[in-house]
Amino acid sequence: MSLETQFAQLRKDYFRNPSPGLSQRKAALKALRQQLLAMQAELYQAAATDFGQRSASETRLLEVLPSINSIDYSLRRLKGWMKPQKRHVSPLFWPASNQVEYQPLGLVGIIVPWNYPIFLALGPLVAAISAGNKVMLKLSEFTPAINQVLKQLIEKALPDCALVIEGEADVAAAFSQLPFDHLLFTGSTAVGRHVMQAAAQNLTPVTLELGGKSPVLFGPDLHLDDYADRIIFGKCANGGQTCVAPDYLLVPAGKEQRAAEKLKAHYHKMFPQGRQSQDWTSVINQRQWQRLQQGLQQAAAAGAQIVSCGDAVDVNDPLRRMDLQLVLGAPLDCALWQQEIFGPVLPIYGYRSTKEAIEFIQARPRPLAFYLFSNDKELQQRCREQIHAGGVCINDTLVHVGQDDLPFGGVGPSGLGHYHGKEGFLTFSHAKAVHRKGRLSSGIFAYPLLRRRLLDKVLDLWFGYRITDTDRPDDSRQALHQREGN
């Protein structure tokens, strides 16, 4: 069955019940939760298969747990989200009432990336189902094992609500051209531009969750020893393949080498066996593996110092595992500074003042996340006011994404729009304005004859200005005189 046929059928299904009630939506979410828990063992095995090495513990913590939390949070608050909101009515329009009703958009498309293929499929799906929509999901071609489990999971839990699509890049391109009522894409900025162009042909609104180079600014008031573990965790989770992973580290000038030593020491504590640890995640495929190798080689050739936190990189490792690589002195025009790294590589740069550090970040495309390590309230305030980022996390990394009651999304090149929690419900809903009147209506005083007899006189007093015939164009005054003469 073609994409277009599947799309048309699901849209037809939506119009059979265009506004599912609270009980229906909750039932769908509960079914999804139940099936996710029932099939988690298959998901853990599939993730290990697709990545080459990825522990069940990592998949549960980073993908299954936040998916369950998202469902539970929505179940607890969905009734309040769906309730129409009363709005103010100006005295000019009394007696009347105003409210905003949240109506499902209809058929939502979700394009899922390979780095968190479970959570980045189920997270948006939960939001779209909570809002009462039908959903089509295009899964990544780089995670075929996970796709098979997700397909079974979603078909069992949501047979009438969601449809899973697989295929290569050509299928993804065709998918983005379908006339969805909303399209959510998670992936690179470069591909996001193509998705937005394709959606624009149908005036389809889009939410783009992209990425970019998320900076870590380490303030001069703290000791790295106290916070190094948080930076390492954020950088090394999922093998560094996280859209909000720290992409570079700014430390006070002259402390770059010392920072590298501290990070290396703490890396050994967190991963005593380094990349051999069962908690280490492989680079997803050979293409990404080669890209990381080329970035390191280019930086080294340009004079950068590469500090490996473990053994030397084995370029022939069949599981594509790489210990954290710290890069000092890399020229700012090399790939590690120009492109999102998306792997266990962390450039370190020395700043001479916090003002210079802020300007360094401002000079680059706006990131998906900004991390500040400092207890200096004044510096915290300056950074929050002067740095544009999708989200800010102070004295930690990554964990802001797991906050159910905070929106998640980028700004500028790092994304457009947001979801998670209530923001996800709002993203996939149409906020429909409803103005209601009964038998009585003050609107009759705006009709031309009554307006001249009464409303204009009231407005003359209100505005402090009386409209006369001289305020009308000559032809209007002439027509008025003709009508009055008749």
Catalytic residues: 209, 243
CA dist., res. 342 & res. 108, Å (int)? 28
Residues 6+ apart with CB under 8 A from 318: 52
Q: What angle do CA 380, 382, 385 make, to 5 degrees?
A: 105
Q: Are 175 and 109 in contact (CB under 8 A)?
A: yes
- Which pair of tokens denotes residue 68? 């369950």
CA dist., res. 418 & res. 407, Å (int)? 6
- Which pair of tokens denotes residue 455? 């409303």
- Which pair of tokens denotes residue 221? 């008031």
CA dist., res. 301 & res. 420, Å (int)? 43
Residues 6+ apart with CB under 8 A from 111: 137, 138, 172, 175, 176, 183, 184, 185, 186, 187, 195
Burial letters 440-457, b for 16+ CB under 10 A, else e:
eeeeeeeeeeeeeeebee
CA dist., res. 301 & res. 283, Å (int)? 23
Question: Exposed, middle or buried by CB within 10 Å (0-12, 13-18, 19+), for 223?
Answer: exposed
Q: How many CB atoms lie within 10 A of CB 486?
A: 5
